[in-house]
Structure 1
Amino acid sequence: MATGAEDWDSRLQVGGVFIIMATGFAGAMLPIASRHIEWLSGGTRVFTVGKFFGAGVVLATAFVHMFGAAIETLGDQCLEGRMGDYDNWPALLAMMAILAMHLMEHVLTRRISHAHSSTEPAEETSSQPGSVEKEHGHATVLISDEKRKRLSTYLLELGIALHSVIIGMTLAITGGSEYKTLLAAISVHQFFEGMAVGARVSTLNFRNHPFALRVLNAAIFALTTPLGQAIGIGIRQSFAPRSPSSLIIMGILESLSAGILMYSAIVNLLVEEFASTEFSAFGRVLRTVCFVSTYLGCAAMSIIGKWA
């Protein structure tokens, strides 16, 4: 990739850091604000449709942006003869990330369930023990589901954060006219991705200071790409993006990030949301709109993939 190092402009780069930060934060805050500000929400349907649009965004980010980039990076001619006779490293690494995510989520979910059951207070005797047990069981399921959703959300944020740092570094080492095109594409990319994160975070039920904690999650997301930009600016003089070692490192990170986002998008977003009792209760028109919204999210990010 041509970096345009001879036309690298520090002022444009610093300005780009704040532009990316602002667009990412705006995208993440949109669904969060719509939950807390009545006139902005336009009803729960707008929020619901936005949530499914975000699922499509994450899915396309995984396949089009990260996995496609990993194949290109690890298939670079500069790595010929350095990766052995095996040509499917991106797919293998992505699959390993998916399996690791599955195992991690299983182990952490069991620990959460066991920790919750071990700290439950003993129920007092009642004249209607069956009723008490039924209510208590329902509450336990709700708490367990909420913690599981929170865990899957944080794992999603992990994959997006890794991906965001990578594209931030790429932007920071780019100069010339290519920089402006890439900055515009990544800004739109961050806005849509922020919507996906914000839509997921806004569904979490925090006991204390829910709005502040949701804003904190949005801010953390907004800072990940600028963090990558800061790293890229710092190492620009010594970083050789076309060197074999750099290509291998970037290719591995892109492959792992793709696997994490694939798992999160398919298992924790598509399957979980479309199989939920809430979705089943929707009318036919709203269900259709949710499907179309998901496909539009995929389409939007796939188009942006031409530039970023």
Structure 2
Amino acid sequence: MVLNRREYMAALLARDDDSDVNCGSGGGATGSTGLRIASVFIILTGSMFGALFPVLSRRTRWLAPHIPKGVFDFAKYFGSGVIIATAFIHLLDPATDELGSPCLAPGWSDYPYALAIALISIFMIFIVELIAFRWGTAKLAAIGVTHDAHGHGGGAGAHAAHGPEGAQDRMVLSDGTDAQDSGSWKDEKNPHERDAELAVLTQHPSSVVDSVLTQIIGVAILEFGVLLHSVLIGLTLAVTDDFITLFIVIIFHQMFEGMGVGSRLAYMELPQKYYWVPIVGALLYGITTPIGIAVGLGVRTTYNPDGTTASIVSGILDAFSAGILIYTGLVELLAHEFLFNKEMMTASNGKLAYALCCMIAGCGIMALLGRWA
């Protein structure tokens, strides 16, 4: 909560009699050293599983044919809900608390800085994507290819920017073959329309590059916000007093958040030479929190998560990450998977209800975890 000046002074006076408020520069907790070290590997396993499973399930010949399409749909919509809840419950609220800490100077209580930083972050990401789309659309138009960012129309670029929405039927597996050839992907597109698209891609290979660029920009923005959050989580876990509770919660937190990132990565439609991008993205997510824990263990004799500097840095980074995930969750995922997705708008009521229930379930579970972390 952001404190006004009177509340700040009251909290400052109360702090003198409250030993629980720690604004010094001393180190964090030093107990449970063995379990804290083990947490590096346990959380690494959970994070890797959550992020890599959707990617490998959709892109490998040995696994893709055995996973029903409903599993992909569940992971996609459940993960979208997780990302939205992470933005509001696990990032924006902590940022507000950190930048409203009674340990900070009175000026921090004069304005809701956490909300302002999140707002700036949202507009920064919007402007970056706007410039990228205008540049990409102009490049495609120059070679005679129509690009529809919402995925309503046909053409080679119709689904380029947002993989999940009405995803292209052509999908490249890690061994360089099409998933449709392995029987893992149902071809629902008109053959003439498919032939026309493939002809365009063959005649204008630069359009593939533009499509790859727009997809990578979108996913990179999402990963950037999530990775900042993951580093802070790991750092906090390494030095917190309430280690056991936070450790258990973060195992599930990272696995569910990894599912959200992984499902986003899995639905990227890339040429064969870029098939490694989603895998690298999943691996990067998987190692980030363990790296944060390892760094925290290394500096836990000097790093105080309740200190003034730590509160400011964590609050700013959390608020900035919150803005990224709010934009990504509401615009890139929620709007483009439902409102701007022709397939979803014409889907049966049952399919729409299932997708909404999966998304709400992901959001609800992640919000519930916010009770402890």
Q: TM-score, normalised by structure 1?
A: 0.85
Residue identity matched to 2:67: S
Is 1:46 matched with 2:71? yes
- Choose which of 105, 113, 116 in structure 1 pairs with 2:129: 105
What is the distance in 2 between the residues matched to 1:59 and 1:203?
18
**1:71 paired residue among 96, 111, 127:** 96
Matched, 1:160 2:185: no
Percent identity of paired positions between Structure 1 and Structure 2: 31
Q: Distance in 2 between matches of 1:24 and 1:6?
A: 24
Q: For structure 2, which runs of at least 5 residues remain unmatched after alignment?
A: 1-19, 146-194
Distance 2:324 2:48 in 1: 22
Q: Is the 8 A contact 1:8 1:174 kept in 2?
A: no
CA distance in 1, matches of 2:142, 2:213: 15
SS at match of 1:205: coil
Instruction: Report the counterpart of residue 57 of structure 1 in structure 2.
Output: 82
Query: Structure 2 matches for 1:149-228, cutoff 5 A?
Result: 149-175=215-241, 178-208=242-272, 212-228=276-292
Structure 2 equivalent of residue 126 of structure 1: none
Q: Per-residue deviation at 1:34?
A: 2.6
1:64-100 Cα distance to aligned partner (Å, 9 max, x none): 11001011111111125142622x1111010000011
More helix by share: 1
Q: CA deviation at 1:266?
A: 0.6
Instruction: Note the C-alpha offset of 1:307.
Output: 1.3
CA contact (8 A) 2:239 2:304 kept: no
> Take 1:225 and 1:23, find their aligned partners in 2: how far apart are those partners?
11
Alignment check: 8 A CA contact 2:227 2:285 kept: yes
Shift of 1:154: 1.5
1:90 corresponds to? 114
1:10-63 C-alpha deviation (Å, 9 max, x unpaired)? 322221111111101101122223313245422x22211220111000000000
CA 1:51 to 1:236, structure 2 compared with 1: closer, same or farther past 3 Å? Answer: same
- Contact 1:64/1:305 (CA < 8 Å) preserved in 2? yes
User: In 2, Cα distance between the equivalents of 1:45 and 1:100?
Assistant: 35
Q: Residues 283-298 of structure 1 correspond to what in structure 2 (within 5 A)? A: 283-298=348-363
**So what's the TM-score if we normalise by structure 2?**
0.71
Q: Tell me if structure 1 keeps the 8 A contact 2:236–2:296.
A: yes
Q: Distance in 2 between matches of 1:283 and 1:142?
A: 33
Check if 1:27 corresponds to 2:50: yes
Once the two structures are TM-superposed, the CA of residue 120 in structure 1 deviates from its matched residue by 8.3
Residue 10 of structure 1, aligned match among 19, 22, 33: 33
Counterpart contact for 2:52–2:262, Cα < 8 Å: yes
* Residues 1:84 and 1:188: Cα distance change in structure 2 (over 3 Å): closer
Residues in 2 aligned to 1:149 and 1:213: alpha-carbon distance in whole angstroms: 10
Equivalent in the alignment of 1:127: none
Task: Point out which structure has higher relative CO (alpha carbons under 8 A, 6+ apart).
Answer: 1
Match in the other structure for 2:306: 242
